[in-house]
Chains A and B, each alone.
Chain A
Amino acid sequence: DAKTTQPTSMDCAEGRAANLPCNHSTISGNEYVYWYRQIHSQGPQYIIHGLKNNETNEMASLIITEDRKSSTLILPHATLRDTAVYYCIVRVARNEKLTFGTGTRLTIIP
């Protein structure tokens, strides 16, 4: 699986959009971008994933650049409950392993 690089930490004001970047410059054509988050000592929670096209669900939007070397997770209206560590993972869909990096610690500020 391709390596990902994320900022260690970020702050965002409550009610604003939180934009979390992820670099995956070595991504290959059959690798997906997945995002998970972990809220204070709970088990991680799936957010969204995509291959090439931008994706949106009830939690977030995923914007993948045209060259697929980077992506951005967008939480459109951040709330205090979005404070968490966010993990960007790049992997081949058929890969049985699921490995995590250290993620971005996002703090939503009132």
Chain B
Amino acid sequence: AQRVTQPEKLLSVFKGAPVELKCNYSYSGSPELFWYVQYSRQRLQLLLRHISRESIKGFTADLNKGETSFHLKKPFAQEEDSAMYYCALRGNNDMRFGAGTRLTVKP
């Protein structure tokens, strides 16, 4: 069965501090993993996907198959990063989301 776990419901950091949002998954096949973000009063939207190996808004995420993790990282958090972040796993043509982590970046 495919499952996505985000162990932290809430995460708070100060502006300029590093931030890491944890995501672990379970899936028997070859996973496709994504991070979605929902800013206040906006729609849920794609932030980044592991196959692109890209950095978006300073965020990166590396797929670690050995640890079955896809943690989202940013070296210097900004106040505008405050949002709800969801890790998602695509398998069998459907998507499963984690419960989400609410990130608050304090000034």
Q: Do A and B come from one complex?
A: no
- A residues sitting closer than 8 Å to B (CB atoms) are none
